[in-house]
Amino acid sequence: MTTSSFAVQRVIPPVAPFDLMNRTMRWLLSSPRRARRVGEHLLVLHLTGRRSGRVLDVPVAYRPQDDGRLLVLTSSVWRLNLRDTSAVEVTWRAQRRSATAELVEDPQSVAEVYATLIDSVGRGKAARQLGVRVNVDRAPSHDELIQAVVRDGLSLVYLRVGEVR
């Protein structure tokens, strides 16, 4: 296990390859034929910048929830645009749809979800599947997860996807 002063920390991908990957994912997810392979756990979230007014098209990984919502884990700054509005659109399964987004930033709630998911996927896969690295040889404590949520801006976005537009 990697040594770090933090038990849990977000994974920060390199910028240049990440930008190229995002462009590629937006293209792949826009077509039913291309999306068939990569679209099972990925979608494009379309939201408007609070200050710029620009439309942002952000490829994100999601996890289906038992209640029909889709869960997106993020520490990216685009999430701040969801503080003022819940109306967004998504390209999901290669179809543009209206959606309602609920941003959850409460440290207790976010830490509980991350704890459940880390337990589910395992500490070793958390970096790739959840975007957080567990730097201890045990399950992180609730307090350690709360520290990571506050320090790294870990958040949850629940999406309720509507009809095809």
Per-residue pLDDT of 20-60, as tens digits, reads 888 888 888 887 777 777 777 899 999 998 888 899 999 99
How many domains does the chain fold into?
1
- SS3 for 135? coil
Q: Does pTM surpass 0.75?
A: yes
Please say if the pLDDT value at position 3 is more than 80: no
Domain that holds residue 106: 8-164
What is the CB-side half-sphere exposure of residue 4 using CA atoms within 13 A?
16
Residue 34 C-alpha from the chain's centroid: 21
Whether the CA torsion 92, 100, 162, 50 is positive or negative: it is negative
In a domain, 2, yes or no: no
| Burial per residue of 62-74, b for 16 or more beta-carbon CB atoms within 10 angstroms, e otherwise | beeeeeebbbbbb
Position 4 scores a pLDDT of 62
pLDDT tens-digit map of 78-103: 999 999 888 999 999 889 999 999 99
Predicted local confidence at residue 32, as pLDDT: 77
Look up the CATH number of the domain holding residue 156: 2.30.110.10
Is residue 80 domain-resident?
yes
Residue 44, classified by CB atoms within 10 Å of its CB into exposed (0-12), middle (13-18) or buried (19+), is buried
Does 137 fall in a domain?
yes
